Structure 1
Amino acid sequence: MPRPTHDPDDVSPPWWLKPMNKVLMAAMRVGLMREGPMVLSVVGRNSGTPRPTPVTPFTVDGKRYVVGGFPKADWVKNLRVAGEATLTQGRKDERVRVVELSADEARPLLRQFPVLVPTGVSFMTRSGLVTGPNPDEFEALAGRCAVFRFDPM
C-alpha cells in the first residue's frame, strides 16, 4: 500500500487555504452553493469571537460528522475547547454540540470518508496526508486527524 507523503502531525494548512475559504464562504452566503459545504462558526479559544470556516459534514447512520484535515488547524483547536458551534447553510443556522471521537470510534468513519466526501479526498491528497481514496490510508489517520460528531442542541 502506498504511504502518505507527510506525517499528518507535521502538515500545516497551505498558504492559500484562508483566502480560498473566504471566497468559498462568500459564494455560500449569496446562495451559489446550496448543498455540500457548510460554514462552521466556533468561538475562538483566545479571541472569544466567532471564527467561521467551511467544512463538509457527512452523515452515517443518521449522525453527522466532520474530519479535521489538519491536526494543527485553528478551528479544530477551537472546537475542542468550545464543545459547541453553529453550522450555517445558506440562511439556516443550527446550534450543535460537538463530540470528538476516540481513534477507535473514528476508524470506521474515516474508512467511509473517501466515498462520502470525495472533495475531501483530493484536498487531503494534495496536502500529502494520503495518496488517494484508499480507505486503509484514511483509517490510519485515526487519532491524528480529529473526527467530530455534531449533536443537535
Structure 2
Amino acid sequence: MAERIKPPRWLKPMNKVLMAAARTGLPIFGKERPVVLTVLGRKTGKPRSTPITPMEVNGQRYVVGGFPGADWVRNAQANPEAQLTRGRQTERVRMVELSVEEARPLLRQFPTLVPTGVGFMKGAGLITEGRPEEFEALAGRCSVFRFDPAD
C-alpha cells in the first residue's frame, strides 16, 4: 500500500468552510480561488467532495495531492471522472495522474503558483523550508493530476 500521512484534526472542519467559500466563487487567499473537486468514492460509489487549489501551467490545469494517500487521491485513482465546481459553474473533467518524471517540474513550480500550499505541506511535515527543490523531491510521494476535458 502507498504511503499515507494522517491529516491534522482541523482539516475536515476547515475543508467544509473552504468548500462553502469556494462555492461562492470569490477569492479566499489573495488571488487563489479554491475549487470543489467531486469524485466518486472508491468503496461506496457516492460523490465525495474536497476543496482544492488547481494551478495552471502552459494552459493546462493541475492539482497536487497535499497528503500521500489522501482519500480524494485514492478515489481519483480508482475513478478519474470528476467534477470541478467554482461558484455556480460545474465542469466535468477526467483526472490523469502524472508519472514521477512528469510531476517533478510541476511540483517545482507549486510554491510559486500555490503559495498557500507551502504552509499546508510544512504543517504536514513533507517539507521544511518551502524551497522548489523540496517540492520537486515529493514526486512519487504526492500525486499530481492533470485535468482533461471529459469525453
**What TM-score comes out, normalization by structure 1 length?**
0.90
2:60 is matched with 63
1-structure distance, mates of 2:65, 2:118: 12
8 A contact 2:26–2:33 mirrored in 1: no
Give the alignment's Cα RMSD to 1 decimal. Answer: 1.6
2:93 is matched with 96
Gaps of 5+ in 1: 1-7
- In the TM superposition, residue 16 of structure 1 has moved relative to its aligned partner by 1.1
Q: Pick from 8, 19, 29: which aligns with 2:23?
A: 29
1-structure distance, mates of 2:145, 2:57: 12
Deviations 1:33-58 (A, max 9, x none): 47511000000011111100000000
Read off the aligned partner of 1:79 and give its amino acid letter: A
2:49 is matched with 52
1:20 aligns with 2:22: no
Q: Identity over the aligned pairs, expressed in percent?
A: 66
2-structure distance, mates of 1:84, 1:66: 14
- In the TM superposition, residue 27 of structure 1 has moved relative to its aligned partner by 2.1
8 A contact 1:83–1:98 mirrored in 2: yes
Read off the aligned partner of 2:9 and give its amino acid letter: W
SS of the equivalent of 1:20 reads: helix
Gaps of 5+ in 2: none
2-structure distance, mates of 1:19, 1:91: 22
1:147 aligns with 2:141: no
Deviations 1:86-139 (A, max 9, x none): 000000000001100000000000000010000001110111110122011101
1:109 aligns with 2:98: no
8 A contact 1:98–1:149 mirrored in 2: yes
Read off the aligned partner of 1:20 and give its amino acid letter: M
Aligned residues: 146
SS of the equivalent of 2:148 reads: strand
SS of the equivalent of 1:26 reads: helix
1:80 aligns with 2:77: yes
1-structure distance, mates of 2:124, 2:37: 21
- In the TM superposition, residue 142 of structure 1 has moved relative to its aligned partner by 0.2
Read off the aligned partner of 2:14 and give its amino acid letter: M
8 A contact 1:122–1:132 mirrored in 2: no
**What TM-score comes out, normalization by structure 2 length?**
0.91
